[in-house]
Amino acid sequence: MKFTKALPCALGGLSLATAAVLFAPGVGIMAADHLDPPARTDPSVDDTPDRAADIADIFAWHTDTSVILALTFSGPQATDMPATYDPDVLYSINVSNAAPRTTTDIPIRFRFGTGAMDQYGISVTGLPGVTGAIEGSVETTLEKDGVKVRAGLFDDPFFFDLQGFRDTSNTGTLSFDSDRDFFAGQNLTAVVIEIPKDRIDTGALVDVWGATARLGGQL
């Protein structure tokens, strides 16, 4: 069975995943996508929620020399819980740096697997300027042909006042508190990729979105 989360303009009728726009001051999308859709990821709806394929957020930003892409998933969760490495899920970070903006020009794909002594590893393909794949252990910074990759547990970087959202929804009065973060002290699994900026920046707008596809059995 295959399950995909992507931009509806790219794959109509499928669930929305967080997207970002680079190199456009003041333009972008900021949203969280945790536990969506409930029929796949909410324990109260599905006895075996598919957290491994559940995208939390995708982050994209750049420095003068690098573009950093981060796809987070399987969260939020308590800090005493392990990372999620499901070999039956294909993860994608799609980059468009030319018109039309819904077409993937740089298809970055990664999957997890086990190697020696049953240690988890990651394989990342489609990286611009990289010959073949970047492969190696999780919780390790991997580097090849000028590109860096790290997969592992991270503190959830998304800030959101869930209580304020609920209070606002119930009362109609804005009740957000900038010091109250629902995601503080919770973890998720993420893959972070750093790419030389000149391999992506063509002078046009750069769109980035994430997707997951389940290829086999669920853990």
Largest Cα–Cα separation, the chain: 56
The helix (run of H) or strand (run of E) holding residue 171 is helix 162-171
Tell me, what amino acid is at 202? T
**Cα angle: 206, vertex 208, 211; to 5 degrees:** 160
What is the pLDDT, as a whole number, of residue 71? 95
What pLDDT tens digit does each residue of the chain (219 aa) get?
A: 333 333 332 322 223 344 566 655 545 555 566 666 666 666 676 666 788 888 999 999 999 999 999 999 998 888 999 999 999 999 999 999 999 988 999 999 999 998 767 789 999 999 999 999 999 999 999 999 999 999 999 998 888 898 999 999 999 999 999 999 888 888 999 999 999 999 999 888 899 999 999 886 554
What is the pLDDT, as a whole number, of residue 215? 83
